[in-house]
Amino acid sequence: MTTPPPAPRPLRLGNASGFYGDRFDAMREMLTGGPLDVLTGDYLAELTMLILGRDRLKNPAGGYARTFLRQLEECLGLAHERGVRIVANAGGLNPAGLAGAVRELAGRLGVPVRVAHVEGDDLTARHPGPGHLAAHAYLGGGGIAACLREGADIVVTGRVTDAALVTGPAAAHFGWAPDDHDRLAGAVVAGHVLECGTQATGGNHSFFTEHDPARLQHPGFPVAELHEDGTSVITKHDGTGGVVDLGTVTAQLLYETSGARYAGPDVTARLDTVRLTREGPDRVRVEGVRGEAPPPTLKVGLNRLGGFRSEVVFVLTGLDIEAKAAFVRAQMESALAAAKSRPADIRWDLARTDHPDAPTEETASALLRLVVRDPDQEAVGRALGAAAVELALGSYPGFHVLAPPGKGAPYGVFEDLYVPRAEVDHVAVLHDGRRIRVAPAAGTLVPEPAGEPPLPEPLPAGSPVRRAPLGLVAGARSGDKGGNANVGVWVRTDDAWRWLAHTLTVDRFRELLPESAGLTVVRHVLPNLRALNFVVEGILGEGVAAQHRFDPQAKALGEWLRSRHLDIPEVLL
């Protein structure tokens, strides 16, 4: 009988960046803090692509994350000495340009590394239009895998999915085929946990007060020990700050996802199959993940200039706050109506930050925020500035503003669309100039909404309740996807899940967050995680760059939900 070959050793991947502007020293910390095979860096987001698009208008040779180059200047030799491969999407709109810059840097430093890049995501020329800055398809990990199989030490990409930074190295290391859906889905889940850096190690965590504050001051970045069967352990380097537990991993799993099917270019991962168990201090095992064939289309993110935007914040102090707000609003509306160019979009928001009988002037004050948008810069600059400044001596008592209006700044709009896979040329460009085309997946499947899973038995009726904040029982994490917001809510015990699943309905969600009352809200149930995921459609308008609301990325929407009061069984408190 032939003895099967031993399974490949686990692949140890670390993350050193969750966004463009993340902790600069993280790359060095990860390379010196413990053993790694691959170090990943996620530098891109919807807003980042817009920023890089504007940068490239000024300098056609730019369009990539320059921070990555500065980090490599300190760390390239260290990574080479330790045999750590680096995979990052820092190429942004110009991965070839970044790859060339890395080669130049390596030559100057005398570090013999092979640099490859992935291209094909740029579809801007195929989607022309007024103000269009960039249109990029979200590629999977196939190009990264091809580069690594051919010996690349550094792989830079443009727009790939965040999880592709893990699926690519995993497929190369383990020899997975494109139809190894369960294994790839496990890697997608591990990649999704790693992608936002310290959000997996205690950053932005609802239950931060339950941990030693000193431990969370400087959280270490996450590590995934990925196995050949697709299971993984989420951890961090020994001795680093932060914490990895079921809550931190659950929170990140719910971040910016929606239903049970998490579709991507490599695979559709079934989030309703994920099982988490605590393996030890700062170690959480992720297993049971099932995968399905990826969809036949690729998502394309389209960034364009939407026009110009300006704002002014009026400070209302002391008594008669509502009357003062109505008074200055009427004055401004009249002045803007009489202006040569009235802004096309005018939004008012009154934040009642004032307190009665306040001990300081600031705590006695409310803020009235006026935001205007228009395709014409003059309409939001000169018109708004004149209207606001001319009121200085003739408006409500105590009139002043936080800052005078500016000339109007350009704002961006993000849209997504979908194209057939065959229309995208996914190419790995190797260190020696060879080009390997990555074939589109042979088997695809249009993802359908997963059926509603059975809910647990509710808690017995009639038990005593107390009016209290939801956050005493539940954690939450929220974020943006274009104009939509996602709010994940989870609990930590079976009894709390029995209560949450029946209590936090769509109607109750709208009641607790009145801003969502007139919008479409979809609830997804994930029993294995004791979690609910809500998608609020359109609450962010045209996306983060449009600055549609006070919290344009919905980062704190979940914490607002946790602060709302409802009747909670006393047995859970």
Structure tokens at 316: 């209302």
What are the phi and psi torsion angles at 336 (to 5°)?
A: -70, -35
pLDDT at 2: 65
Say how far apart CA 347 and CA 311 lie, in whole Å: 9
Residue 230 pLDDT > 70 = yes
Say how far apart CA 265 and CA 54 lie, in whole Å: 27
Residue 55 pLDDT > 90 = no
What are the phi and psi torsion angles at 464 (to 5°)?
A: -60, 145
Residue type at position 351: A
User: pTM of the entire structure?
Assistant: 0.94
Q: Give 25's contacts (C-beta < 8 A, 6+ positions apart).
A: none
pLDDT in tens, 327-364: 999 999 999 988 877 899 999 999 999 999 999 999 99
Split at pLDDT 50, 70, 90, the class of 384 is confident
* Opening angle at CA 396, ends 395 and 398, nearest 5: 110
Say how far apart CA 339 and CA 173 lie, in whole Å: 64
180: alpha, beta or left? (left if phi > 0; alpha if psi -120 to 50): beta
Helices 26-33, 66-82: crossing angle, 10 deg rounding: 10
State whether residue 241 is helix, strand or coil. strand
pLDDT in tens, 399-432: 999 988 888 888 888 889 999 999 999 999 999 9
pLDDT in tens, 456-515: 999 998 889 999 999 999 999 999 988 899 999 999 999 999 999 999 999 999 999 999
49: alpha, beta or left? (left if phi > 0; alpha if psi -120 to 50): alpha
Q: Give 59's contacts (C-beta < 8 A, 6+ positions apart).
A: none
> Cβ–Cβ contacts within 10 Å for residue 12, how many?
18
The single residue listed with the structure tokens 């270490």 is 220
Say how far apart CA 119 and CA 476 lie, in whole Å: 36
pLDDT at 482: 84
Residue 138 pLDDT > 60 = yes
Structure tokens at 371: 């935001």
Do residues 150 and 430 touch, judged by C-beta distance below 8 A? yes
| b/e 434-458 (16+ beta carbons within 10 angstroms → b) | eebebebbeebbebeeeeeeeebee
Split at pLDDT 50, 70, 90, the class of 1 is low
pLDDT at 467: 97
Q: What percent of the chain has pLDDT over 90?
A: 82
In DSSP notation, 169-217 reads HHHHHHT--TT-HHHHHHHHHHHHHHTTGGGGTTTT-TTGGGS-HHHHS
Q: Which range, of 122-126, 155-159, 281-285, 438-442, averages the lowest pLDDT?
A: 438-442
Q: Could you tell me which residues are beta bridge partners of residue 532?
A: 489, 525
* Residue 497 host element (H or E): helix 494-503
